[in-house]
Every structure is written in C-alpha cells, then in structure tokens.
Amino acid sequence: MKKKLNISLSSKGGVSESLIACIACCTISLALFTVSVAGAGSGPLLGARAVTQTLVSPVREATSFLFMPFSALKNFIKNATAPSEVLTTLQQQNETLSAEITRLREQQSEAERLQALLGFKNTYQLEGTGARVIAGSLDSYNATITLDKGSNAGFTKGMAVTDSKGVVGEISEVSATTSVVRLITDNRSSVAAQIQSTRAQGQIEGQGSLVLNMDLVRVDQQVKVDDMVVTSGLGGVYPKGLPIGIVTNVDRPQGASYYTISVKPLASLNNLEEVFVVTSLSDAQLANAEDAALANAQG
C-alpha cells in the first residue's frame, strides 16, 4: 500500500508559495517568449502566450508592490549618507534664504507704514517731515519718545507730532540731532479739542495711561459714545481738525456742570516707529476768531 507524501510549503519553513508561483510564471513566460520569437509571433502559441501574460501580470504587479518599500528605503539611505559638506552647504543656504525673507518682509512693513504716514500728511495737508523713533519712556510718570532728528532738521519746541492715524503729542525738548516728544497720554499733556459732530469744545488731558479724559464739556452739549474727537486749533500747537480719539464713555455726574468723558487715542502710542512732525501751520489750520468765541461761550 502506497503512502501519500504530503509536502507543506509555508513562509515559516521555507520559500513562500507566492515566490514559487512567481518563479514558475516567469519561467513559463520566458519559455513562451522564446518559442514565439522563433515562430515570428504567429501560430497557436500566440494565444497561449496571451493567456499566460494575463495570469502572470497580477503576480508581477504584486511582486513590484512588495519591493516598493525597499526602493524608498534605498533612497532614504542615499540621502542620509550624503557628504556632510553638501548637507552643511544646504543648511547655510537655507539660513541665508530665511534671513533674506525676514529682511524683505521688514522692508515691506516699513514701506507700508511710510505710505500710510504720507497718506495722512496729504489728507490733512500738513507741512513737515518724518522722523524715526529711537527711544521711549512709557511709565506712569513719563510718556515720551525720542526722535532721530532735532534742530538741525528745523525742529523746535512746541511742534505737533502725529502718526498715520492721529495726534501723538508735541515736541518738549530739542537738541541738534534729537527731539523728545511728550505724548498726549502724559500727565502733563493738554490738547484743545472738540467733538467733531457737534463742535462741543473741551480739553483732552493725559492720565498716564492709554485712556484720555476730555474735560470742560458742559452737560448741555451733545456727546455720545463713538463720537470722534479732533483738535480745535486753539492754542496754536495743533492744526485744527486732526483726529485725536474716540469717545468710549460719557458720564453725567448729578449736579455737575461738566461731563466726565473717556477717550481712546487713535495713534499707536505703544509701538511707534515712524512719526510726522508738523513744522508749520497755515492760516486755515489755526483757530479763527469765531472758533475762539464759540469756545468762550461754551466755557
């Protein structure tokens, strides 16, 4: 009685079944290719070759898929083992490009700020020149900035200073090459102002913080939150009509003759980089007799 011989092939004990199938299919394909070449690509073997290619194709594609990770690993190892000089050069080039991008972005930001400053100058028809902020003191006792220009540039004490949004302050000290500007938030600062919509006259007072007070506005005047506050031109320092800030709170204390008004400055007083110094005022930018009479009547 003959015994049956069972042969078990597994990936654990030897060569995998898929690999044997692949080898077998490739052998058959090679044999058929040889015969077909000899037969000039015609005859009954042509059909057999087509059938065999159909059977072999999935196996060939599966084999290619299995070897894809090894190809990727090869490329990774090739890049990882590149000469250290090449990697160092690439790193240096990357750092150089990053620095250049940062520089160009900074130049673009500066150009946009200067363009906005020029737009403010043209809108309010101001005469003067720009200057850079080189230092600042923004504590509860002093709110000042220092500019990189002074008397050599024609700056004098009492000149008005703005940024691209509104009033910044006035020059309080001047040397040949630098100027100190007292900001409108300084405790010693005072600016003649009015409510733009109703022409109600008052005085903007600094409080050592980013909140201004508007004093001396009588309670019979019309004032509301979100009103624009502008310079009145009285006092001869600021051209009339320059924006100062927005009313954020209006309080009418019982029995008081004047409002208590809070104003938020429009100028970017915490991060000034460039400013505009008004070096001269036209007659049209000064308060006239009618403006003075109106202010006296309201006072």
Q: Which carries the bigger pLDDT value, residue 69 or residue 40?
A: 69
Q: Which carries the bigger pLDDT value, residue 259 or residue 52?
A: 259
Cα(283)–Cα(118) distance, rounded to whole angstroms? 22
Structure-token match 């910044």, residue found:
168
Looking at residue 202, its amino acid is G
* pLDDT over threshold 60, residue 276: yes
State both tokens at 81. Answer: 């083992």
Cα(31)–Cα(26) distance, rounded to whole angstroms? 9
As a whole-number percent, the residues of the chain with pLDDT over 70 amount to: 72
Q: Which carries the bigger pLDDT value, residue 78 or residue 136?
A: 136
DSSP letter at 187?
T
* pLDDT over threshold 80, residue 212: yes
Q: Which carries the bigger pLDDT value, residue 45 or residue 221?
A: 221
Residue 113, CA distances (Å) to 101, 120, 130, 133, 157 in order: 19, 11, 11, 13, 25
**Cβ partners under 8 Å of residue 32, min gap 6:** 45, 48, 49, 52
Kindly state the average pLDDT of the residues 235-252. Answer: 96
As a whole-number percent, the residues of the chain with pLDDT over 90 amount to: 53
Give the per-residue pLDDT at 15: 45
Cα(267)–Cα(164) distance, rounded to whole angstroms? 7
Give the per-residue pLDDT at 69: 55
Give the per-residue pLDDT at 84: 80
pLDDT category of residue 77 using cuts at 50, 70 and 90: low
Give the per-residue pLDDT at 107: 86
pLDDT category of residue 75 using cuts at 50, 70 and 90: low
Cα(102)–Cα(95) distance, rounded to whole angstroms? 11
Give the per-residue pLDDT at 245: 98
* pLDDT over threshold 70, residue 175: yes
Q: Which carries the bigger pLDDT value, residue 93 or residue 160?
A: 160
On whether the pTM is more than 0.75, the answer is no
